[in-house]
Amino acid sequence: MSALVIDGHPNPDSLTAALARRYTDAHGDARLLALRELDFDPISHFGYRGDQPLEPDLADALDAVFAADRIVVATPTWWASTPALLKGFFDRILLPKVTYRYRSNGLPEGLLTGRTGRVIITSDTPRWILPLTGDTAAKQISANTLSFCGIRPVRTMRFTNVRHASEATRTGWLERVAKAAGRDRASGGAVAGTQDAALLNQEHRRV
């Protein structure tokens, strides 16, 4: 099972970036996409009402999304959400009629079905506080972004209280991610509806 690992942290020396690299290395059939290395405008200047062609790096990223069996998103929690870099990436490539559409009854339909997801999320907030705050960043990515586009199931790994974590703790987290990558690779499975996905993949070049 191939995987696309999206590293949404602007800092290559961050724990989030290290977790993304560890997952990629341990998986054996994964591509790492570090958003900080891409050349693109994260602002959707016209919303979905105007023409803003995808930059080459974004077109390549969207191709990679369609080619992968599993989508992995690694991100820190900033202000109960994600960094602007990751949010802008989602805004630009998760396009209507490409990754989702609305049916005649007005209900949304994800177009990335047949893929599974994993979210690797870090935060300085202690874990016991998450139920009080609503765990908003994790829900935003897993339910309101990946699942909305048809990627299911989405599993979430949370690494909390990061600023107080010892080196031994961080090393243990890296090993947890490596083991998860191995399980994901072993789970097998193929992308359902590959032919439809290929047709939809062509659509983004006309949006």
Can you give the residue ranges of every domain in the chain? 3-200
Task: Report whether pLDDT(194) > 90.
Answer: no
Three-state SS sequence of 10-39 = CCCCCHHHHHHHHHHHHHCCEEEEEHHHCC
Question: What pLDDT score was predicted for residue 192?
Answer: 43
User: Which of 13, 51, 15, 35 shows the shortest CA–CA distance to 164?
Assistant: 15
- Secondary structure (3-state) at 120: strand
Higher pLDDT, 132 or 39: 39
Question: What pLDDT score was predicted for residue 204?
Answer: 45
Name the pLDDT band for 67 (thresholds 50, 70, 90): very high
Rounded CA separation 52/205 (Å): 10
Higher pLDDT, 191 or 13: 13
Cβ density class 60-78: b for 16+ within 10 Å, e for less: ebbebbbebbbbbbbbbbb
The pairing of strands 100-102 and 108-110 is: antiparallel
Name the pLDDT band for 135 (thresholds 50, 70, 90): confident
Query: Model's pTM, two decimal places?
Result: 0.90
Q: Are 147 and 124 in contact (CB under 8 A)?
A: no
Residues facing 71 on adjacent strands? 4, 117
Higher pLDDT, 104 or 188: 104
Q: What is the pLDDT of residues 42-61, one digit of tens each?
A: 999 998 888 899 999 999 99
Cβ burial, residue 25 (10 Å; 0-12/13-18/19+): middle
Tell me the CATH class for 3-200: alpha beta
Name the pLDDT band for 127 (thresholds 50, 70, 90): confident
